[in-house]
Amino acid sequence: MTLQETRFAADAGAPVRPVPPRTNKPRRRFPAGAAVTVAVLGIFVFAPVYWVLVTALTPTNAVYEFPPRFWPRHVTLQHFTALVHTPVLLHYLINSLVVSIATAVLTVLVSAYTGYSFAKFRYRGRRSLMYLILASQMFPQAVLLITLYLVFSQVGLLNSYLALILSFTTFTLPLCVWMMKGFFDTIPDELIEAAKVDGAGQFAIIHRILLPVSLPGLVATGLFAFIRGWNDFIFALTLGGPDHLTLPPGLANHYIGEFETGWPELMAASLVVSLPVVIGFAVLQRYLVAGLTSGAVKG
């Protein structure tokens, strides 16, 4: 196989939606069991989102109505309009985006090279190293918080973006390395051999051949790391300091108090700041699905 053929093969590996052949067969009906399953799963997934929306639209003095109402009696947008007067939320949102995107990029970079090494090379200590990386995932993350806090304090990294990015990357890497290894395992060695025959070096093989083919895996890995950075509470609260608070601790700081919690305001803020991420995921979801399932079937 030449490099040209290799590229063709690589293109063939990209997630192209197959066009179903036209047939005269009647369309299969959606089985009732599947419909029920989807409905139950839909309720399971969307009921909390619905409740968040209802709470955000309910006037403050009706939020604690007992028993709670599934359909709000009165609807208000006051909690959404109040967000305009809460500029600190934009600050939290920017911090979250900076930290999550940087975590995703760093994780993808490191896990791609490490995963490639584990998948395509044989060397002494490789298996032990692989298991060691996997074992690090077994540690309760809260236990590592104290250690990380002390280390970052000693080296002057506390209260910085870097502290958050490094700590999040530390926790995402083990799984992401294994995800990328699984992805590279599915790429046939013949592709690499063909590239070598055409005179490509290791740098060209990984950057010009493998990484373009692995785009779904890279996106899936990046999204996983992004979610980790986006959702974290305790590390962001502890290591970031007041100027680098991300959304989870920022919202808790702003709306949850000793005596009262501004539930409707908190729900409205949560919905609004989630929108950019939801849109981003909607755009990238086909890569996420392809990337997560690519290593699932041994070919």
Contacting positions for other proteins (CB under 8 A): 60-66, 119-120, 127, 131, 134-135, 138-140, 143, 145-146, 149-150, 153, 158, 181-182, 185-186, 189, 234, 237-238, 241-242, 249, 252-254, 256-262, 298
**What is the b/e burial string over 33-44, where b = at least 16 CB atoms within 10 angstroms of the residue's CB?**
eeeeeeeeeeee
The least CB distance from residue 293 to other proteins, in Å, is: 15
Q: Under a CB-based contact definition with an 8 Å cutoff, are residues 233 and 40 in contact?
A: no
The least CB distance from residue 20 to other proteins, in Å, is: 29
Q: Cis peptide before 174, with omega less than 30 degrees from 0?
A: no
What is the C-alpha separation between 221 and 49, in angstroms, rounded?
A: 25
Torsion angle of the four alpha carbons 262, 267, 269, 274, in this order, in degrees rounded to the nearest 10: 150
Torsion region of 257: left, alpha or beta (phi above 0 gives left; psi -120 to 50 gives alpha): beta
Nearer to other proteins, 127 or 207 (CB): 127
Q: Under a CB-based contact definition with an 8 Å cutoff, are residues 76 and 59 in contact?
A: yes
The least CB distance from residue 56 to other proteins, in Å, is: 15
Nearer to other proteins, 63 or 106 (CB): 63
The least CB distance from residue 136 to other proteins, in Å, is: 8
Among 111, 119, 211, residue whose Cα is nearest residue 171: 111
Nearer to other proteins, 30 or 123 (CB): 123
The least CB distance from residue 104 to other proteins, in Å, is: 25
Handedness of CA 180, 185, 188, 191 (dihedral sign): positive
Q: Under a CB-based contact definition with an 8 Å cutoff, are residues 264 and 77 in contact?
A: no
Scan for tokens 């949560």, then name that residue.
270
Nearer to other proteins, 50 or 139 (CB): 139
Q: Under a CB-based contact definition with an 8 Å cutoff, are residues 92 and 245 in contact?
A: yes
The least CB distance from residue 32 to other proteins, in Å, is: 37
- Cα angle 138, 106, 274; round to 5: 85
The least CB distance from residue 138 to other proteins, in Å, is: 3
Residue 256 three-state SS: strand
Scan for tokens 């895996």, then name that residue.
217
The least CB distance from residue 282 to other proteins, in Å, is: 32
